[in-house]
A and B are shown apart, each in its own frame.
Chain A
Amino acid sequence: MSKINIKVYIDKENLSKITELNNGSIVSDLLKNLKINPVTVIVSRNNELILEDEKLNDNDELKILSVISGG
């Protein structure tokens, strides 16, 4: 199966990384791969929020923003 590369920025860890996924993967596949609970984040692409069933494309750049803040 062909693969796609997704560039991800995870704000909670202030970390950028490239994740390889199967072609046809969606946002929830990415979160599962990164072991992130979808309840705890919102995901944006090109500064627009996208949902968990959004299909990902090769070389997409995503931001994963934690909803947990404060103390």
Chain B
Amino acid sequence: MSCCSEKPVIALNSGDRLCKTHFTEYFENKVLKTIRQFDLIGKKENLGIALSGGKDSLTILHIINKLSMQNPKIKITAIAIDEGIEGYRDKTLEKAKDFCNENNVELHVFSYKEEFGLTLDEMLKILDVKPCSICGIFRRYLLNKKSRELKLTKLATGHNLDDECQSILMNQFKNNVEASARLGPKAGIINDKHFVQRIKPLYLCTEKEVTAYSFTKGLLDNFSECPNAIHSFRAQIRDMLNDMESKFPGTKYSIVNSFLQILPLLKQQFKDGAKDGAASAVKSCIKCSEPSSNEVCNACAYLERLNGKSGLLDVING
């Protein structure tokens, strides 16, 4: 059913067809409702936004910036990570910088090259590893460390319903229940002073809704995919889920909604395990002092492997 006499720009699973104005209202209300439902943002926050320059992070920054203008007690700061992916991240970072300049948002950019001595492209020339695995470890490491150093109270990421749905299935397929316990609109299991709470205000918004919103708001004119992501396990799960969604509309909502019912139990189980000194307990990495579940954190473990083979890079680069 159409919302009004204006031309619809999106058809929802419910059958509702919304015009640009009513879709904007629907989408922004959905994000605000998610924030309230899961208590994601308090009355006073020094809130970080993990900004890649892609549609998801620009959308969340756009909406939270509006919220911040209405409520000066919510201060926002954007953090971008430059992994060093030639032909991809340089373009999205330009978008991120332009947006922050135009909207007067403080932006901090941290690069793998400056922080670890190598770009992701260089790391992948040295180690034969899955790009998304190593990249994710270094990105999460930097986001948490820099957020804490900037004294941010929380860090909002652009993860949407599709991302969450993919993660749930990936963890199921890999029998990684603890990784699932770390999911949810409030990521993580344990409240620890070394962790900055990560929140996902787009948790209940589909990727298609986010794209439609960013398009109608003129936030992005070119939607690109990371060149490393194309052959990833996540990409295969994503394609399978999109196939199921087109045959059985509502599949993604069903997966996430059923997951939300068991998530508190999962979090409690691993929280209790941590208290009893199980592997999920938070330790400090003996090399960098960042939080880790092992003696040496995953980032330092990768750096050791990279340093051991860094002579290879000189050979590769001639």
A residues contacting B by CB (< 8 A) are 11-12, 37-40, 42, 44, 48-52, 65-71
Contacts and interface: CB of A to CB of B under 8 A. Distances in A.
Contact of B225 (A38, A50, A69): A69
A68 B212 contact: no
Interface of A is mostly: mixed
B135 interface: yes
Contacts, number: 68
Nearest to A68: B225
Interface stretch (B4-12, B104-112, B254-262, B285-293): B4-12
Interface stretch (B190-198, B241-249, B309-317): B241-249
B54 interface: yes
A37 B246 contact: yes
A42 B208 contact: yes
A40 B242 contact: yes
A50 B226 CA distance: 27
Contacts of B158: 70
A53 to B, nearest CB: 8
A68 B132 contact: no
B216 A67 contact: no
B17 interface: yes
Contact of A67 (B135, B208, B229): B208
A42 B212 CA distance: 7
Contacts of B246: 37-39
B223 A65 contact: yes
